[in-house]
Amino acid sequence: MDRAVAEALDRGDTLASFRERFPIDDAGPIYMDGNSLGRTSYAVRAALDAGVHEWQERMVSGWSDWIELPAQVGDRLGLLIGAGPGQVLVCDSTTINLYKLADAALSARPGRMVIVGDANDFPTDRYVLAGLAAARGCELRLIGSDPITGLDLDELAGAIDEQTALVSLSHVNYRSAARLDLEAVTDLVHRHGALMLWDLSHSAGAVPVALDGAEADLAVGCSYKYLNAGPGAPGYLYVRKALAEDLRQPICGWFGHQDQFEMGPAYQPAVGVGRFLTGSPPILGLLAVSAGVELVLEAGLGNLWAKSQALTVMLADLIEERLAPLGASLASPREPARRGGHVAIAHPQAWSWCSALLERQLVVADFRTPDAIRLGPAALYTRFVDGYDAVERMEAVLTSGLTADPGDRPRVT
């Protein structure tokens, strides 16, 4: 494959103009880390400016509108994850939301003492579940999934039984991008009477998700990857409408109260998903999420997903053609039907390789221990030639030789 193929794909790209919605310096390194931190869009920048201006002008009176933002932005974000209105809130962080929902799920299945998860899931997911399990005297059963192809459904089925209270899994794996069948897994979990909690951090805005369609129970995710809301922007949570009234929120904050400004003696949880709010929501963060979500909605999730698949298929082809002969290998599922929006590349000196690409200002990607580089070509602003050039630059660096991969690596994200 030569560059002309990528150029032709760009000419046929109906989303090409969306790249202009982001301030991008074409002389800079190629950004292939949209799966870690999405780019700044003009829309988000304007939303933050407007938010600061609104704070300045309205001061405390702004709260009469701001107070609705977690649910309002949540409803819009819900369109990206197949969630009807009144089920999604934008609030807190992914970690906090995971904790709240997992704890609520365990309380809703008293007597069941097992949590099932994935040993290769993102660290915060595993740690939060382990912390809850220890606090409650539950067993955390982590399945040792394949680091490339992901969780095996038969193995999962073997781990779930009538003792299982909760199964918590990432829809798309943070490292390999292996993607689970959300509907089939949810159905399996429900057959055993357990609750299912999905982490959609690597899904929302990249791949289609149908929470309501799968009758999913609970979900969480972040807004700073494919939703481009900025570093540490708020997370979100989903609670199926029929389930909300049965759930008890562990962190009983005043924003989750049925009548917040009554300030009465007893905590009365709000009707519905609103009970999962806690403290004062971060208004500038919410406005950034709102603008980020609207841009994705404008592009259309179906269009983005189609382009994402074409991008990652091209990357997989190029990795095999150019990088495999140099000792690298695709560390993601080959078929887009089993994959999310990024691809991973394994190499024994992955850390030195990734560092050299960054130091020489060629490609921004990220290293994931012990031996992988992730390429996340966000469809909203990444061209096919970007993918092509990135692999070519990676090939050149590998050919020129790498320094030894230090055992004690500096702290990087």
The residues annotated as belonging to the active site are: 122, 199, 224-225, 374
Site for a second copy contains 308 (CB under 8 A): no
Quick one: 282 or 336, whose CB is closer to a second copy?
282
Q: What is the dihedral of CA 119, 125, 128, 129, to 10 degrees?
A: -50
Which of 139, 210, 254, 326: binder of a second copy (CB under 8 A)?
A: 254
Quick one: 189 or 233, whose CB is closer to a second copy?
233
- Interface pattern 57-86 for a second copy (x via CB under 8 A): --xxxxxx-xx-------------------
Quick one: 282 or 333, whose CB is closer to a second copy?
282
34 and 376 Cβ atoms separated by less than 8 Å:
yes
Quick one: 11 or 411, whose CB is closer to a second copy?
411
**Min. distance of Cβ 254 from a second copy in angstroms?**
4
Quick one: 86 or 253, whose CB is closer to a second copy?
253
Quick one: three-class SS letters along the chain? CCHHHHHHHHHCCCCHHHHHHCCCCCCCCEECECCCCCCCCHHHHHHHHHHHHHHHHHHHHHHHHHCCHHHHHHHHHHCCCCCCCCCEEECCCHHHHHHHHHHHHHHHCCCCCEEEEECCCCHHHHHHHHHHHHHHCCEEEEECCECCCECCHHHHHHHCCCCEEEEEEECECCCCCEECCHHHHHHHHHHCCCEEEEECCCCCCCCCCCCCCCCCCEEEECCCCCCCCCCCCCCEEEECHHHHCCCCCCCCCHHHECCHHHCCCCCCECCHHHHHCCCCCCHHHHHHHHHHHHHHHHHCHHHHHHHHHHHHHHHHHHHHHHHHHHCCEECCCCCHHHECCCEEEECCCHHHHHHHHHHCCCEECEEECCCEEEEECCCCCCCHHHHHHHHHHHHHHHHHCCCCCCCCCCCCC
- Interface pattern 111-150 for a second copy (x via CB under 8 A): --------x--xxx-xxx-xx---x---------------
- 318/296 Cα distance (integer angstroms): 27
Applying the rule CB under 8 A, the residues between 92 and 111 that interact with a second copy are 92-96, 99
Applying the rule CB under 8 A, the residues between 313 and 342 that interact with a second copy are none
Site for a second copy contains 56 (CB under 8 A): yes
**Min. distance of Cβ 225 from a second copy in angstroms?**
10
Quick one: 48 or 243, whose CB is closer to a second copy?
48
**Min. distance of Cβ 411 from a second copy in angstroms?**
6
Site for a second copy contains 391 (CB under 8 A): no
Please choose, out of 39-47, 163-171, 303-311, 337-345, the segment that lies near a second copy by the rule CB under 8 A. 39-47
Which of 152, 162, 242, 267: binder of a second copy (CB under 8 A)?
A: 267
- Interface pattern 233-252 for a second copy (x via CB under 8 A): xxx-------------xxxx
Which of 9, 15, 30, 37: binder of a second copy (CB under 8 A)?
A: 37
Site for a second copy contains 272 (CB under 8 A): no
- Interface pattern 155-194 for a second copy (x via CB under 8 A): ----------------------------------------
Tell me how many residues contact a second copy (CB under 8 A): 79
